Amino acid sequence: MPISAGDVIQPAFQHAKQMLLGPFRFGQWVRLAFVGLLAGEMSSFGGCNFSWPADTQNQGSPQPPRGDFPALFTHHSARFAGLVVALIAVTIVLLVVFTYISSVMQFVLFDSVVARECHVRRGWTRRTQPGFRLFLWRLLFMLAVLAVLLIVIGVPAACAYAAGWFTHAGEHVPGLVLGGLVLFLILFALIVFAAVVGVLTKDFVVPPMALENCSVMEGWRRLWPGLRGESGSYAAYLGIKIGLTIAATIVFGIGAVIALVVLLFIFGGVGGLGLLGGHAAGWNWNPYTISAAVIFGLMALVVLLFAIALICVPIIVFFPAYAIYFFAPRYSPLASLLWPEPPAPGATGEPAPAPV
């Protein structure tokens, strides 16, 4: 008999506690932080203006004003245009790469929580095939959501523009307000739908993909009858998970904020020293120094995220355990892993008890 979403909180908590503290192993804690960060389970600095050095040999030629970023972009527009294009291309590539890594790491995290042991390299080797299937499905789903967004927002906006609503906005205030409200509600509903599909896929489609090597669509085909037959239970699961997420964010957010402040102070100090050293050496803001600053910022961001992941390892373990304990009574292959049958008498070489 499947148990309710509220009844599995305690066994999921005990599972996470035993995995993390029975006994405590720092190496496993670090590996779980690494896997959770890459799996996506986690769900400003003050500026300093550089002065342009005076050009004593070309006093008559126009020079960018000191520390004037708009003039800097004007005088190096071609370089900055190329830099922007390169950053956009790199962002897209990184998004695709991270989506693939996250897809594989979802299976590594699932295996780790079920087995109570985290083995990154071994898990990656085992789960590249189902991870690639999940990766392709995620890309197609993101493209589908993006296409719907473009249609929902782009078509009405184009029609309003063609009708002159934007050119003479003062004459069409009621229509613009009403249209904006409708578009906002549609956009909100689409975002909620995409989020629910993503959570259900991660929590209840990944297990059959991992244990039976099925596709994402086959996993959804198997999940759908359960969703229809126990819609209330699954809705309660999602509601409780939202509540637990809020509570966990408040509890662990305090430690994350403390770590964030400490690391920001450290990186801010290093960055400030770098800026002062660059200023003393006569460095200027140009595409190269800006690129170096961006790289330093990305490195600092990675360190910050990993530090937060280390603090949030209990969350990284608990929520997959919560999904597993909710789904196991509804999916027998997973239940057999969590609650294996005791060996039959004589199966371990011991003689079976004599009949009375």
Per-residue pLDDT at 127: 95
Q: What angle do the packed helices 77-115 and 287-311 form, to 10 degrees?
A: 20
| pLDDT value of residue 328 | 94
353 sits in which H/E element: none
* Tokens standing for residue 152: 């929902």
As a whole number of angstroms, the longest Cα–Cα distance in the chain is 112
Predicted local distance difference test score (pLDDT) of residue 46 = 34
Task: Give the pLDDT confidence score for residue 62 in this predicted structure.
Answer: 45
Q: What is the pLDDT of residue 347?
A: 52
Bridge partners of residue 21, in order along the sequence: 24
Q: What is the pTM of this model?
A: 0.77
Cα distance between residue 91 and residue 176, in whole Å: 34
pLDDT at 79: 66
Contact predicate 308/318, CB 8 Å? no
What is the full per-residue pLDDT of the chain (356 aa) written as tens digits? 567 778 899 999 999 999 999 889 999 999 999 999 999 887 633 333 333 333 444 444 444 444 444 555 555 566 667 777 888 888 889 899 999 999 999 999 999 999 999 999 999 999 999 999 999 999 999 999 999 988 888 888 888 878 777 777 777 778 778 888 988 898 899 999 999 999 999 999 999 999 999 999 999 999 999 999 999 999 999 999 999 999 988 888 888 888 878 877 887 777 777 777 766 766 766 666 677 777 878 888 888 888 888 999 999 999 999 999 999 999 999 999 888 877 666 555 555 454 44
Cβ neighbours for 225, distance < 8 A, ≥ 6 positions apart: none
Q: Residue with structure tokens 């975002």?
A: 191
In the chain, which ranges are continuous DSSP H helix? 9-21, 26-39, 69-75, 77-115, 120-149, 155-162, 173-200, 206-212, 216-229, 231-280, 287-311, 313-327, 332-338
**DSSP, residue by residue, 40-82:** T----PPP-PPPPPP-SS-TTS--PPTT-HHHHHHHTHHHHHH
Q: What is the pLDDT of residue 241?
A: 93
